[in-house]
Amino acid sequence: MDDSRPQRKPLQAEELRSMDRYWRACNYLCAGMIYLRENPLLRKPLAADHIKRRLLGHWGSDPGQSFTLVHLNRVIRQRDLNVIFLSGPGHGAPATLAHSYLEGRYSEIYPDRGETEEGMARLFRLFSFPGGIGSHCTPETPGSIHEGGELGYSLSHAYGAAFDNPDLIVAVMIGDGEAETGPLATSWHSNKFLNPARDGAVLPVLHLNGYKIANPTILARIPHEELEALMKGYGYRPWFVEGDDPDTMHQQMAATLDQCIDEIHAIQRRAREHGDLRRPRWPMIVLRTPKGWTGPREVGGHKVEGSWRAHQVPIADPASNDKSLKLVEEWLRSYRPEELFDESGRLVEALRALAPEGARRISANPHANGGALCKALDLPEFRDYAVEVDAPATRYLSPTDVLGQFLRDVMRRNMTSFRVFGPDETSSNKLTAIYEASPKTWLAGMLESDSDGGDLSADGRVMEMLSEHTLEGWLEGYTLTGRHGLFATYEAFVHVIDSMFNQHAKWLEKAKRELRWRQPVPSLNLLITSLVWRQDHNGFTHQDPGFLDVVTNKSPDVVRIYLPPDANCLLSVADHCLRSRDYVNVIVADKQPHLQYLDMQSAITHCTKGIGIWDWASTDQDHEPDVVMASAGDIPTMEALAAVEILKGLFPDLKIRFVNVVDLFRLMPDSDHPHGLSKRDFDSLFTTDKPVIFNFHSYGSLVHKLTYRRTNHENIHVHGYAEKGNINTPLELAIINGIDRFSLAIDVIDRVPALRGVGDHAKERLRDMRIEHLNYAHTEGIDSEQIREWTWTG
Amino acid sequence: MDDSRPQRKPLQAEELRSMDRYWRACNYLCAGMIYLRENPLLRKPLAADHIKRRLLGHWGSDPGQSFTLVHLNRVIRQRDLNVIFLSGPGHGAPATLAHSYLEGRYSEIYPDRGETEEGMARLFRLFSFPGGIGSHCTPETPGSIHEGGELGYSLSHAYGAAFDNPDLIVAVMIGDGEAETGPLATSWHSNKFLNPARDGAVLPVLHLNGYKIANPTILARIPHEELEALMKGYGYRPWFVEGDDPDTMHQQMAATLDQCIDEIHAIQRRAREHGDLRRPRWPMIVLRTPKGWTGPREVGGHKVEGSWRAHQVPIADPASNDKSLKLVEEWLRSYRPEELFDESGRLVEALRALAPEGARRISANPHANGGALCKALDLPEFRDYAVEVDAPATRYLSPTDVLGQFLRDVMRRNMTSFRVFGPDETSSNKLTAIYEASPKTWLAGMLESDSDGGDLSADGRVMEMLSEHTLEGWLEGYTLTGRHGLFATYEAFVHVIDSMFNQHAKWLEKAKRELRWRQPVPSLNLLITSLVWRQDHNGFTHQDPGFLDVVTNKSPDVVRIYLPPDANCLLSVADHCLRSRDYVNVIVADKQPHLQYLDMQSAITHCTKGIGIWDWASTDQDHEPDVVMASAGDIPTMEALAAVEILKGLFPDLKIRFVNVVDLFRLMPDSDHPHGLSKRDFDSLFTTDKPVIFNFHSYGSLVHKLTYRRTNHENIHVHGYAEKGNINTPLELAIINGIDRFSLAIDVIDRVPALRGVGDHAKERLRDMRIEHLNYAHTEGIDSEQIREWTWTG
């Protein structure tokens, strides 16, 4: 006997018939969305001018998804379950939209698409129509927290939603195309991080639809034994539902879902009542159905149902081809809409009863509108973690080490709504203090030796897996369901999630700007650390500060970039970000010991302004400056200050203004970004005609990109990472990229008219010093201690 | 009996003893690299000043990697195999370096690090030393085509190297940390794309080292049955080698490697002699050894061998702590260097005999210096694929459709050295003609219905899997071993491989600029298509042209960006890219029908210059222009031309110069990029004082980033993607982002002093037209046909 298929047939004839009708209603709506602009209930014979002018949308995965939703509704009703649904398959929105519409939720939110014949016509017309409804589950889709535009993240999003939601079951449909992506392939392992006592459950439904756009899928074309082994290897208990006969499939799916829910509840009981936190084998379902199931079998002599040809629009030309029009009509009428919808166009009463009610409806579950459930973090007073700074630049400290202490106490006060994420680097990134509040989540095997500093526990709240994709997906799922978090990662490797960032920013922008019913969700906080300038020892591959360029391409409504120059500024910025909503906050701060500049009060003032003159480092008091030295980022700030110190020694009368930038978007015009400085404020800081030497953390061109419309732009000379690196010392790396104190001082001498000629000897000496330091590094393997003497000392 | 472990003990006592000594020599060198600046053979008692000032490097995975290499050498010698080795674990370079050094190859390339005591000392000193040798397998490492800085790509690189190399065995060590990444997790499925007759073999060795930087690994902490199921589920035949007793492990590893090589040869014989192309279960090895194997067992009361504490430098402070110094000395002496190296410091003769000879040495295998084996493509005459253009802008064609015909014949002429890669989108991207030359590679299951347009075959050469990571990894491996290819992908989702692009560009830069012994390899050609401006119907998630920003951050020595405006230009650019070496070429070209502008001869001239005035579209003949209309990209060019047409109708005397940019880096100063225009040439095109309206394919700020130092920069007004989109029509999408003909014409009226006031009425009319078109789109769901009338018509 096959132990991967339950043998029961739980559905009574009447129930089966009703569920099948409900499913037919879904499928009818899906096909209607793709084809019809008029005559939504086919009360007239279908005519060419009822057909949309441009046929768009994806039929292929809709029936399988609808089928799953119909069956989820059954168990939700029967057991009063709390379930949300994530639709992984790229463009299968019609299925989710149809369910949402049948449940009445869609019309509650969009009253112009009511439960009437006219409302249905409008839904159909707006689908995949300019200015209308997207063909995948966009933020506009009620009940959704997952957009399938870019594939790969459904399962990690699902786990993110399940963490700390003990009563929630997150059903997630994974397309077999999506399953080929890297991010999806590794996210199966998320089950080693789900605690059955504390967290909810994830129920993956791998949809073996068989085909992608134009190809079979890998997982649909490996033998049953291999697929079963793969799922068992990933740590699941797989159940198979396979076939195409609706009646048989309904019984199979009902029995399988009953089985899975029973298993989930048994696992949770063992954990919650008996304290058994050993990693369970969570159930998952493999649903193999024909692509475009119940659609046209054959068109023009080609197989369509059960083929890649069913992926999008199965019949291409009904408006211009009578035969095709007839085929479409036959297909649509095969669902018998007259049995499904009443006179007014509303789903008949008998079928309405199959949907759950109120907030139990998948389309209305509040977890999928996470802002509605979101509670502000209980934050400790960040000033209490302040570093003493008696005088600027007299003390070295690791900023992230200080931040770790704050985060530790954030964690302690919010033990069910805050998590920290990092790819095996939380400790490397000096956030180690967090472990005092909570160990790392770990439900894979443990060894006795783990007790010695392993910091592992099923109850841990620090999430570490060597997959930036999975971590980002978890955090997105966690915040979209209304909870808070921070993801710390090596700067160079944050590019791994460029595309995930892009998609999340797009989601936030739509939700924030266009959807009043979506409540604001906690911001996604990215701490970019192990920065380029201190990846001197790891070499060229670990040096890439270009993520900021990606971030600045996204909407000003949703992205923020902060470069706190020291630990107190980092605390102030972190507190601000943890309170904010609906942003992606990118915080750039290093883990190595760095000089500290500002006491807490000054740090708060500075970070609140986001940009400002550091009087204590300037020499232009009460005068127009000869030159502005600006900086953004910790190491660039230290080098810029050291350059000022050098220049003060060389040219005591030189008027230097020192400007530091924390909030990068301050550089943009206020017309382009809400954080942008007005023309007047920018000009008063940077002057309208004096040279500005700007020492920047990232690629220099980014500063030009942000400031090219500023009055004094021609005079802004940016030093930044120039894509030069190897195994280096810190100063050597700064020198070869030209952000070091010597290069900056030379640039000042070159740019200030009064120093031309006068400064030639100094320039020569500074050039020699650059070479001396390079030689020292290459002989001794470290930077000379003398470097610290050149550091600004107040 | 356990069938996952061969039971034989193939090693005679003497052979085992020799191999173990060779392994000790490797391990000694690895530890030496991390610690010693002097006294490399411990001929004196170890003193604090023999220790490096800054201890850097990674010990953890070295012994396991060395162990594998020692055993690979045995089978290479015994069977005269052709083997390359890819080292996946991040920072395990010491193992590869040690082998390369012991094989003499390292000293052949770097004679200053000869096989003498002084040479060894220099190798040790330079390792992880400023300006010296990287701690992962950088391009400087002989025998390597894979850098482990960013994790996840070793297995896809390995498959890329094996394709079309029937005699090659690619041994690839996969770290169990790396195995957690998404890209690695899905790349196991590459075995469904490896043809045992035509391709070489990949032998994965999953190294269950047990720990990452600070955590256990997932795969090391799941039960044996789960791991075995996972590997079987991925389609492999796993063999387990597990333990820590060297003698036992040597026998196990030797027996297992014998078994695997036998299996590989049997599979290849079945395929090559008997035509059996069914997908075989290729062997793979799970090697479970303690992290830091043979290193210090315990330090300061903490377990080190077999723990995450062995990841980097196991004993931290030997220079300042006598006890630690003694520990290091004991550890190093445990390898008995005096038995391994002769008086001069060279590996003793008896051990040298264990290494393969000449090009069979893994460190000297020519496949790992692919440029040395590379043959130029046999290219058909691209002019033969030219599209007839009797008059500009009179004909619509899909540029990629035309390119597909050229690529089809490139494929036909190069059936062992050219492949095309794409994530299930080759057909969607209109490159369908390629299938006439070769179907898609497919060794997973086939169905009868596949014969109807499935285009699948074990002999196919079009590589399609829904994983951009895997495709990019395959292509990198394929080109680094000297073969040619092109990867076509949706523009928005090329961000998925941002970080892979970054790392490959870094590799190319180092190899090209600093390593004369590395021969130039074929460029990596990325065709970015399904462009933002025609993702109107797919919506916001499919609209992201920001990859170009990422590309422009990389070294000018290795990156090129081309935006051919039509099909003939695309052919010319493609021909150029396929001939080039050592670049990443990014070609931006859409798949939808677009207007054609240039006949082939004009296209060649235009693309060779990379930028130029289109006289036929300009109205400034023999005059200074009043305004420059510039464009880059197909849709922006069409809109800019239509704007000119509108303006000609409105203001017949207006002098408009039309400039089109194909080679984006022409915009940069020649001091910053080898393709940059001189100041004089730029100024003569764009004037020094006239308004320039620049209609750009991507985010507008990129043009400012490239041109901010140009004389007339203040007057350059860029229109580009402004991060606004939904389900739209093409013109609607252009309008809401302001790159449409109406917005451009309005901008010209605003910027040209002579039109101020005069143009007010026209502006009003143009604004109305924008609104009319938006209304039409929202009513009809398509763009008005009238749009074509507004198109430039010569």
User: Mind listing the pLDDT tens digit for each residue in A722-737?
Assistant: 999 999 999 999 999 9
**Residue at which a domain ends, from A561, A594, A627:** A594
Closest chain B C-alpha to A686 CA, distance in angstroms: 18
Q: Which residues of A touch B130 (CB under 8 A)?
A: 536, 726-729, 732, 777-778, 781
Alpha-carbon distance values, B769 to A275, A738, B641, B765, B774 (Å): 69, 51, 17, 6, 8
Residues from chain A contacting residue B227 (CB–CB below 8 Å) = 233
* Beta carbons of B499 and A495 less than 8 Å apart: yes
> pLDDT value at position B792?
46
Residue A5 lies inside a defined structural domain of this protein: no
Q: What is the pLDDT, as a whole number, of residue A792?
A: 46
pLDDT at B428: 86
> What's A579's domain CATH number?
3.40.50.970
Amino acid, single-letter form, for residue B162:
A
**CA atoms of B498 and B544, how far apart (whole Å):** 13
Q: Are residues A560 and A675 in the same domain?
A: no
Q: Is residue B295 part of a domain?
A: yes
Are B449 and B322 within one domain? no
Torsion-angle region of B453 (φ positive above 0: left; ψ -120 to 50: alpha; else: beta): left
Residue at B164 is within a domain: yes
CA distance A78 to chain B (A): 34
Task: Flag whether the pTM goes above 0.90.
Answer: yes
Q: Which of A485, A519, A501 is nearest to A558 (CA)?
A: A501
Same domain, B501 and B578: yes
User: In chain B, which residues have their Cβ closer than 8 Å to the Cβ of A136?
Assistant: 539, 541
Closest to A427 (Cβ–Cβ): which among B147, B150, B214?
A: B214
Angle between helices A246-274 and A62-79 (to 10 degrees): 50
Shortest alpha-carbon distance between residue A604 and chain B (Å):
32
Looking at the domain assignment, is residue B3 inside a domain? no
Rounded to whole angstroms, the Cα distance separating B237 from B214 reads 31
Q: How far apart are CA B675 and CA B668, in angstroms?
A: 8
The predicted structure's pLDDT at residue A794: 38
Q: How many helices (H) and strands (E) does chain B have?
A: 26, 22
Residue A322, C-beta contacts closer than 8 angstroms, at least 6 positions apart = none
Q: Are strands A656-661 and A611-613 parallel, antiparallel or unpaired?
A: antiparallel
A553 → closest Cβ in B180, B537, B723 = B723
Residues in chain B, overall count: 794
The answer to whether the complex's ipTM is over 0.90 is yes
Whether B404 and B357 map to the same domain: the answer is no
Q: Taking each helix axis from N to C terminus, what angle separates B399-413 and B567-579, rounded to the nearest 10 degrees?
A: 30
Last residue of a domain, one of B368, B397, B430: B368
**Do A537 and A625 belong to one domain?**
no
**B623 and B535: one domain?**
no
Phi, psi of B677 (to 5 degrees): -75, 145
Using alpha carbons, select from A345, A267, A304 the residue that is nearest to residue A29.
Answer: A345
Residues B263 and B285: their CA atoms lie apart, in Å, by: 12
> For residue A2, what pLDDT is reported?
64
Tell me the residue range of the domain where B631 lies: 611-789
Contact assessment for residue B44 and residue B275, using Cβ atoms and an 8 Å cutoff? no
pLDDT digits (tens, 9 = 90+) for B611-636: 999 999 999 987 899 999 999 999 99
In a domain, B655, yes or no: yes
Other CB atoms within 10 A of residue A513 CB: 12
Contact A214 B428 (CB under 8 A): yes
A37 contacts on B by Cβ (under 8 Å): 781
- Interhelix angle B62-79/B93-102, rounded to 10 degrees, is 40
DSSP code of residue A133: B
Nearest to B737 by CA among B755, B759, B722, B756: B722
Dihedral class, residue A622 (left if φ above 0, else alpha if ψ from -120 to 50, else beta): left
Cβ of B186 within 8 Å of Cβ of A181? The answer is yes
Pull the structure tokens for residue A498: 């460029």
Chain A residue numbers with beta carbons less than 8 Å from the beta carbon of B428 are 213-214
**Which residues in chain B land under pLDDT 70?**
1-2, 788-794
d(CA A194, CA B63): 34
Q: Do A549 and B554 touch (CB under 8 A)?
A: no
Q: What is the pLDDT of residue B574?
A: 98
pLDDT of residue A789: 59
Cβ contacts of residue A86 below 8 Å, gap of 6+? Answer: A144, A145, A146, A154, A157, A158, A161, A170, A171, A172, A173
Task: Please say whether the beta carbons of B25 and B340 come within 8 A.
Answer: yes
CB pairs < 8 Å spanning A and B:
377
Q: Which amino acid is at B600?
A: M
Nearest CA to B265 among B522, B79, B418?
Answer: B79
Give the closest-approach CA distance of B681 to chain A in angstroms: 21
Chosen domain end from A594, A625, A654: A594
* Cα–Cα distance for residue pair A96/A40, rounded to 1 Å: 18
Instruction: Indicate whether B522 belongs to any domain.
Output: yes
Looking at residue B791, its pLDDT comes to 52
**Shared domain check, A650 and A559:** no
Report the CATH number that the domain containing residue A694 is assigned in CATH: 3.40.50.920
In eight-state DSSP terms, residue B127 is: B
Phi then psi for A295, rounded to 5 degrees?
-80, -170
* Cα separation, A527 vs B297, whole angstroms: 36
Q: Is the pLDDT of residue A103 over 70?
A: yes
Sorted by sequence, the CB contacts under 8 Å of residue A36 that are 6+ apart come out as A50, A51, A52, A121, A124, A125
Residue A183 lies inside a defined structural domain of this protein: yes
Mutation site for A-interface testing, chosen from B308, B499, B668 by largest number of A Cβ within 10 Å: B499
Indicate whether A176 and A91 sit together in one domain: yes
Per-residue buried b or exposed e for A593-621, using 16+ beta carbons within 10 Å of the residue's own CB: ebbbbbbbebbbebbeebbbbbeebbbbe
Mean local confidence (pLDDT), A229-241: 98
DSSP summary character for residue A418: E
Taking every pair of C-alpha atoms in chain A, what is the biggest distance, in angstroms?
98
Query: CB neighbours of A697 closer than 8 A, spacing ≥ 6?
Result: A531, A532, A533, A545, A548, A563, A588, A632, A633, A634, A635, A636, A720, A721
Measure the CA–CA gap between A603 and A618, rounded to whole angstroms: 17
d(C-alpha A741, C-alpha A789), whole Å: 12
Helix (H) or strand (E) holding B287: strand B283-288
pLDDT reported for residue A1: 46
Same domain, yes or no, for B713 and B619? yes
Outline where DSSP puts E strands in B707-758: 716-721
Q: Which residue reads 């972190």 in tokens?
A: A574
User: Residue A205 — φ and ψ, nearest 5°?
Assistant: -115, 105
CB contact under 8 A, B222 and A228: no
C-alpha angle with apex A665: A662 to A666, nearest 5 degrees? Answer: 70
State the nearest Cα–Cα gap between A149 and chain B, in angstroms. Answer: 5
Cα–Cα dist A401/A387, whole Å: 11
The verdict on A340 and A441 lying in the same domain is no
pLDDT at B171: 98
User: What CA–CA distance (Å, rounded) separates A657 from A614?
Assistant: 8
Judgement on whether residues B178 and B202 belong to the same structural domain of the protein: yes
E strand residue ranges, B152-192: 168-175
What is chain B's Cα-based Rg? 30
Mean pLDDT on A204-221: 96
Q: Which residues of B touch A544 (CB under 8 A)?
A: 499, 502, 553
What was the pLDDT predicted at B622? 79
CB contact under 8 A, B187 and A184: no
Six token digits for residue A619: 């020499």
For A93, name the nearest residue in chain B, comparing CA atoms only: B538
A424–B214 C-beta distance less than 8 A = yes
Q: Which residue of A has its CA nearest to B557?
A: A723
| Whether A536 and A627 share a structural domain | no
* B723 to A509: CB separation less than 8 angstroms, yes or no: yes
Tell me the pLDDT of chain B averaged across its residues.
Answer: 96
Mutate to test the interface with A, among B55, B174, B181 (most CBs of A within 10 A): B181
First to last CA, chain B: 81
Segment holding A208, helix H or strand E: strand A201-208
Residue B275: the pLDDT is 96
Which residues does A186 contact at the CB level (< 8 Å), separation at least 6?
Answer: A467, A469, A470, B180, B181, B182, B184, B185, B186
Q: What does pLDDT average to over chain A? A: 95
What is the count of structural domains for chain A? 3
Nearest CB to B449 within list A180, A307, A445: A307
Closest CA–CA distance from residue A529 to any residue of chain B (Å): 15
Structural domain contains residue A374: no
- For residue A419, pLDDT over 60 is answered with yes
Instruction: State the amino acid at position B414 in one-letter form.
Output: N
Could you report the per-residue pLDDT of A543-600, keeping only the tens digit for each?
A: 999 999 999 999 999 999 999 999 999 999 999 999 999 999 999 999 999 999 999 9
In this prediction, residue B424 carries a pLDDT of 87
Predicted pLDDT of residue A189: 98
Question: Which tokens is B610 given?
Answer: 């990379």
φ, ψ (nearest 5 deg) of residue B487:
-115, 115
